[in-house]
Amino acid sequence: MSRRRLAGLGCAVVLGMVAVSALTAAGGGLGSIKSQDLKEWLSYIASDELEGREIYTSGIGLAAAYIEEHARAWGARPAGDKGRYLQTVRVLGVKTTSHATVTVEVNGETRTFADGEGVVFPKNMGGTQRLTLDRVEFAGYGLDAPAAGHMDYKGKDVRKAAVIWLGPNGPKTVDANVYRRLLVARNRYATEQLGAAASVGVAAAAGAGRGGRGAAGPSASGGSGGGRGALPAADFTTVQRLDALTPPTVTADDAFFTFLFSRAPVKYDELKPKAAAQEPLPSFRLDGVRLTFNVEADYQVVRTQLTQNVVALVEGSDAQLKHTYIAFGAHYDHVGYAEGEVDRADGGARRLGAKGRVTPGKEDDRIWNGADDDGSGTVALLALLKAFAEGPHPKRSLVFVWHAGEERGLLGSRYFADYPTVPIDQIVTQLNIDMIGRNRDDKASEANTVYLVGSDRISTELHNLNRSANAALSKPLTLNYEFNDPADLESLYTRSDHYSYAAKGIPIIFFTTGLHPDYHANTDEVSKIEFDKMTRIVQLVYETGLRVANLDHAPARDNLGPRAGRLTQ
């Protein structure tokens, strides 16, 4: 049965389930954001009937239909494809034939290293480009970990430079298990966070993780051939444009580094054993060195899967400013349900085919309901849409995007950022909501706390608007910026949908209440949601969005980056 047919059936089911009062109540504005509505909506979105809302399933189709019917009832305009609320997201499995090279020139002597012969490019290396860099900076381990007393980039400006780093496991002062996310993301940190034009490091230790550009790594579901009509195996899966130019990020072997450091003040044969022993490494510029990255690959799409974002729009009231937008986002997918049964061998119980963690004693529960992750964000967006659609419209237009496939690698938001249904360069701010229904670690001391990520990285003005919005609430929340630290061990800044917009230079704020024992467990259920707190956070998002939407200019993008050490204010 087609997706369109499933969505239609979902609409029919939902119409019978939605309370008339919830669909028709008028008024809008801040006062319309009520905990009883959030609870009613979440009780359906996170119910067993939706089977964990996994991408490509009927459960997420029912969720999309539920969102769409509310948007229609409140008078919001469809802003997906061709006058619909749904935007089809094309998830591509791709095979790569690489022709990429790196040419190294050291004091007039030149060597070229082909992909797979001295250097390795990611399979998704972006569009064809030739990039020559005369400034090459060696940054030791290429790691900033201030809590561990290690800062390779302290006082070092690497913008528009090529960054070189060594040591797959990092220095001995940094626990590789604790800092795993930061260690495997060093190429990305250099280019995406510090503005380097390219990054060259060493291959990660086995099992440490994956890098490179794209929504996901090699496809596990593409099939490897054998029978007639079998799908070829894909090298990577992505929703992004294959022709987009991205900073080259490669790994290299001994031959490359030996030549690269051949005229350096410290040679590679001295640096390599130090890195292997996890001893301190120097940091210096490689004078007389030029790197030329020739990025070239042939891409063959071997698999296409389809899912949908849900997109609704509230038009602004100002004749000029209504052509600019505030984007509100959340992901409405979760991880699904276990197909396997409970194994009770050896006197214990184990759920086969688990989609995440199984809470001890709850092995009979096969559905990962995702009430907080991100059912809370899903219904928060419904409340915001209702408040703006039925209340006075601000000057700017507001676009609401329920992203699909966040759990598979930010699929829906990455697709929307590359294939937007409103002009991407006219989106002045994106406000993302992911997990706002609980207290971090279920601590009572967190009852008034919300964590803000990214609010000051691109626009200090946006950060200040958010703080003034909080101060205006009848009961202000405690704003905590711990996860905005560049050395956040969970790397939350890169792990939710706001990051797809930030990568385009759009000022963002990510609202979350942090992780808890039921994160990605089969016990993330509605009964554990703190609805009063959640309501106040939604009101904060509303007040923040309202201020930006009525601002006579776009929030200034000063791009000062994350502030290390800023915690609660």
Summarised one tens digit per residue, pLDDT across range 483-503 is 998 778 888 899 999 999 999
Residue 206 has pLDDT above 50, yes or no: no
Q: Which residue do the tokens 């990285």 mark?
A: 457
- Same-domain pairing of 543 and 401: yes
CA 387 to chain centre: 26
Q: How far apart are CA 78 and CA 372, in angstroms?
A: 26
pLDDT band at 90 (very low <50, low <70, confident <90, very high): very high
Q: How far apart are CA 439 and CA 528, in angstroms?
A: 10
Sequence-ordered strand ranges (E) for 315-463: 325-331, 336-337, 342-343, 350-351, 367-368, 397-403, 427-433, 449-453
Residue 224 has pLDDT above 60, yes or no: no
- Same-domain pairing of 271 and 359: no
HSE toward the beta carbon, residue 205, CA cutoff 13 A: 11
Q: Is the dihedral of CA 194, 197, 201, 206 positive or negative?
A: positive
Q: Say what the pLDDT of residue 231 is.
A: 86
Mean pLDDT confidence for 258-270: 97
Radius of gyration of the CA atoms of the chain, in A: 24
Residue 18 has pLDDT above 60, yes or no: no
- Same-domain pairing of 406 and 362: no
Q: Quick check: is 205 in a domain?
A: yes
Residue 22 has pLDDT above 60, yes or no: no
Supply 166's token pair: 């060594």
Q: Say what the pLDDT of residue 207 is.
A: 40
- Same-domain pairing of 110 and 69: no
CA 519 to chain centre: 17
Residue 16 has pLDDT above 80, yes or no: no
- Same-domain pairing of 219 and 329: no
Please list, in sequence order, all residues whose beta carbon lies within 8 angstroms of the beta carbon of residue 162, skipping any fewer than 6 positions away: 133, 135, 136, 137, 196, 197, 198, 199, 200, 291
- Same-domain pairing of 213 and 187: yes
Range of the domain at 354: 338-367
- Same-domain pairing of 399 and 259: no
HSE toward the beta carbon, residue 449, CA cutoff 13 A: 20
> What is 510-524 written as a DSSP string?
EEE----TTTTBTT-
Q: Say what the pLDDT of residue 227 is.
A: 57
Asked whether 199 and 186 are in contact (CB, 8 A), the reply is yes
pLDDT band at 148 (very low <50, low <70, confident <90, very high): confident
pLDDT band at 211 (very low <50, low <70, confident <90, very high): very low
Average pLDDT over all residues of the chain: 91
Q: What is the count of structural domains for the chain?
A: 3
Q: Quick check: is 491 in a domain?
A: yes
Mean pLDDT confidence for 112-129: 97
- In this predicted model, what pLDDT tens digit does every residue of 423-434 receive, in sequence order? 999 999 999 999
pLDDT band at 418 (very low <50, low <70, confident <90, very high): very high
For residue 130, give the CATH number of its domain: 3.50.30
Q: Quick check: is 561 in a domain?
A: no
Residue 86 is inside which H or E element, if any? strand 86-98
Residue 414 has pLDDT above 60, yes or no: yes
- In this predicted model, what pLDDT tens digit does every residue of 304-359 receive, in sequence order? 999 999 999 999 999 999 999 999 999 999 999 999 999 998 888 999 999 999 99
- Same-domain pairing of 133 and 250: yes
